[in-house]
Structure 1
Amino acid sequence: MNPVLHGLAANPSLPPEAVDRLIALADADLADILACRPDLGRDQAVALVARVEDSAVRLAYEGRLTAADIDPVVHPQVALALALLDRRAGRPEWARLFAADPDGERRAKLAACPGLPPDVVERLAADPDVHVVAELAWWATPDVAARLAGHPYAEVRRAVAANEATPAGTLAALINGAGLPAALHCLVCDREEIPFTHDPHCPRPDCDLLPGASCDGSHESVTHDTGLAALQNPATPTGAAVHFAEHPSLLLRRALAARPDLPPAVCRRLAADPVPGVRADLAANPAIDDDLIRVLAQDRDPDVRRGLAYHPRVPLDVLTHLAGTTKTGETLLPRIASASATETGELARSPHPAVRMLVARRRDLPAGVRDALAADPDAKVVKSIAPHPGLSAAQLRSMAQRHGIRVLAKVAANPDAPPELLEELALHDPPTRKALGEIARHRRATAPALLACLENGRARPVAARHPALPPPVIVGLLDDSDPQVAEAAAANPSLPPQVMLELVQQRRVLG
């Protein structure tokens, strides 16, 4: 890996002639970066494929190659990549070519393509490799999915259960078995004498069974996963899903608890579940009503109360009660985000700092509410409001002076922080690592501020990429002992074009 060449390959200001030279030097890693350049021309894309054949797949996904550029015999992976694109850039004859490919992995990739010709779909549905049929089942149209639900392999049925295009009646049948023949095979009983449970630490290097996969004749591990896939599928009918409310599997009950279509009786049953994880998933579910919310608010488990804090309709009196006892991180809670202007004002005037901190995370506050929170005596509230747009330089400076290192990083993250304030924060004694990281990526950061950021190990690679860094400094960083810094400097758009050309030429000579 050459970090300087990699940085140059990503540099948006790289001259076209330098791009050509890098193509001539490219290895697989460098080609992967070059393939993502938005200014890469068709001729350059073709040249890159000639240099590094594997780059063709990325180029196809990036839209740099078209069907006219591809010979599916010479570049089979590229033709397949084109066929995989949602814009359906491949050709029908390619699908027929790959349907007969001896490589099962290619047939499986083909099976995931949209809009395949009907004859290709039929051929893939009858493929002898169960992985190919399962991949087709994941993406199949409703009629094909319904037909594959009766496939003799349980793995195919699991894929049908995950397909959101599968008809509701078919999904219900996969859960209750009504109207479907019993599955005859799974990958476990096909290979092992049952009963068998696969060792999660299996020492066999050629074994591809999933950890814990098991079969006692009922294909139980795949059957379990089929139920899980169905529960996570929004197309599964509610009446079929509630079948799992009493299931011994924790994973299945948790998946059920997260479904937004649960009837009240099932919600009440899951609210009494002995496992906190089930109750926590239910607590965040929009399906529960106010009465159940208030019941769960008394739950002793912190994960349940945290889940409830994320409920989009949690009553504000419940949320304010939870605020003092429940850690919710720095995320803006849904109920706070949807609060009315009147509610927002009341929250901002709460006597409890934990509540004021919640509303301070909004970034669309009225100026009066924003300014009141900016003057809050509590550092946690100020830390939450500091990145809010519209705050003046005087307000931001006052925050920093009143609360010091506790709020400096958030002040530095404010998009309206003026250059002179960023310089002051960068030179703060003692230095604040998080603040330097924010300054290093701030669009208003100046050269003096960035030079201070270069003194910090974590902020240094970020600052090295900032276009406000003086060109001589950028050039000096190209030889930095930290490869991340050297790569960032090479990717800096303010690196002089002539230096870029010289760097590429030097590497060419050295190579």
Structure 2
Amino acid sequence: MRIALAARHDAPADLLADLITTGGSPEPRGCPHRPDPAAALRQVRLAAAGNHGTPAAAVAPFTAAPDISLARVLATRRDLPPGTYERLVALGDHRVTAAVALNPAAPDDLLCRLYDAGDAAWRTNVLANWRTPLDVLVRHSRAGAGWVATDRHPDVDGLRALAADPDPKVRLVAAASHILPGDLRAALTDDPDLDVVRRAIGNSGVPADQVRRAAERWGPALFQTLAAHPSAPPELLLAIATHPDSPAGAVEDVAWQETAPPAALEACLRLPSAAPLLAGNPSTPPAILAGLTTHPDPQVRTELARNPALPAGAVHDLFVALTHPRTVLTDSLGSAAIDVSE
């Protein structure tokens, strides 16, 4: 029971402090599940240490020389003194260090050292840490080593400076942020570098006029990013669905867009892999849904069965196709009889 209480995030802070300090009052005794009182107290303390509702002051005495199990729990807390994270890394446990690398409370210089240490897991976690110093992210981007996670980075002034850098790989770091001011976001969506634009315009908050302008400028090269964008205007979705150079993935994204106009969804039929997406899209025109009831792909018919927009008259045809796979049906679009045998 004490272990369960120690893990409750809504438990009173004074109770959690008591549990991690003494195990609670009265003194814990052995039970059938934990016959050793010392082992029981240890489990209570581990649970309380991992509970972010436990006051940091109560946890502090256990940070001086923690064993590995306790260190792995402490490494996830965000309210400990900076020196604690240094001591945790000094223990040399790979999992502890990986957890510290992901912790936004870890000191900047420690995150820099972990990035430079060469361990793939530590570097990945440092890059995923939303408080990693921008200079580390810039170094990573300049090396062409892949994506940087600045989506929630709090240093807006620093990001603004990066957005004005002449090096597009530096501007990429700023473009990945999801908290940029509107003027800065607009500037990056108009950037002369396609990669910067692709990253900046992927943000769901970019308005329709900027999406439209980017599409006019870059054409099919940007369609894969724009097709699933929530602000993509209907005429752009139609252009993506009908353009001969549109990537298959972009056409599939249009097929799943509930804001796509009927003509765009109909145009997606040219791509066989879009059929399951059209079948599951409640915005797909009823005539198209009815026509798909005779489709030979079971995944298409399953998506139709889930789609509340499937016309009532087509439900029977779909049921026959599902339960009598060798029945020959005439589809509701008026085409010739289709053998749906499997």
Short-chain TM bin: 0.7 to 0.9
* Aligned 8 A contact 1:386 1:396 in 2: no
Q: Flag the 1:244–1:352 CA change in 2: closer, same or farther, 3 A.
A: same
Number of aligned residues: 316
Q: Determine the structure 1 residue equivalent to 2:4.
A: 159
Q: Flag the 1:246–1:399 CA change in 2: closer, same or farther, 3 A.
A: farther
Match for 2:121: what amino acid?
Answer: D
1:183 aligns with 2:29: yes
What percent of counterpart residues are identical?
32
Taking the aligned partners of 1:175 and 1:326, their CA distance within structure 2 comes to 46
* Aligned 8 A contact 2:127 2:148 in 1: no
Match for 1:321: what amino acid?
Answer: R
* Aligned 8 A contact 2:293 2:314 in 1: no
Q: What does the per-residue CA deviation read over 1:118-171, in whole Å, with 9 as the maximum and x for residues that have no partner? A: xxxxxxxxxxxxxxxxxxxxxxxxxxxxxxxxxxxxxx2221211234344543
RMSD: 3.8
Q: Determine the structure 1 residue equivalent to 2:330.
A: none
1:395 aligns with 2:208: no
TM-score (normalizing by structure 2): 0.73
Q: Determine the structure 1 residue equivalent to 2:79.
A: 261
Q: Flag the 1:276–1:426 CA change in 2: closer, same or farther, 3 A.
A: farther
Q: What does the per-residue CA deviation read over 1:383-422, in whole Å, with 9 as the maximum and x for residues that have no partner? A: 2123332415242132235xx3xx4321212333333432
**Which secondary structure does the structure 2 equivalent of 1:334 belong to?**
coil
1:272 aligns with 2:90: yes
Among 45, 51, 66, the alignment partner of 1:233 is 51
Q: Flag the 1:267–1:474 CA change in 2: closer, same or farther, 3 A.
A: same
Match for 1:440: what amino acid?
Answer: A
* Aligned 8 A contact 1:383 1:410 in 2: yes
* Offset, 1:256: 0.5
Q: Flag the 1:320–1:169 CA change in 2: closer, same or farther, 3 A.
A: same
Q: Determine the structure 2 residue equivalent to 1:83.
A: none
**Larger RCO (CA within 8 A; separation ≥ 6):** 1
Match for 2:215: what amino acid?
Answer: L
Q: Flag the 1:271–1:350 CA change in 2: closer, same or farther, 3 A.
A: farther
* Offset, 1:261: 1.5
Taking the aligned partners of 2:171 and 2:82, their CA distance within structure 1 comes to 33
**Which secondary structure does the structure 1 equivalent of 2:294 belong to?**
coil
* Offset, 1:454: 4.0
Among 263, 276, 291, the alignment partner of 1:461 is 276
Q: Flag the 1:474–1:231 CA change in 2: closer, same or farther, 3 A.
A: same
Segments of structure 1 that go 5 or more residues without pairing to the other structure are 1-155, 190-216
Q: Flag the 1:470–1:330 CA change in 2: closer, same or farther, 3 A.
A: farther
Taking the aligned partners of 1:187 and 1:324, their CA distance within structure 2 comes to 55
Taking the aligned partners of 1:422 and 1:347, their CA distance within structure 2 comes to 32
**Which secondary structure does the structure 2 equivalent of 1:459 belong to?**
helix
Segments of structure 2 that go 5 or more residues without pairing to the other structure are 325-342
Taking the aligned partners of 1:456 and 1:224, their CA distance within structure 2 comes to 60
Q: What does the per-residue CA deviation read over 1:220-267, in whole Å, with 9 as the maximum and x for residues that have no partner? A: 5x76654442122122232443415644435x3232012111123312
* Offset, 1:314: 4.2
Q: Determine the structure 1 residue equivalent to 2:68.
A: 249
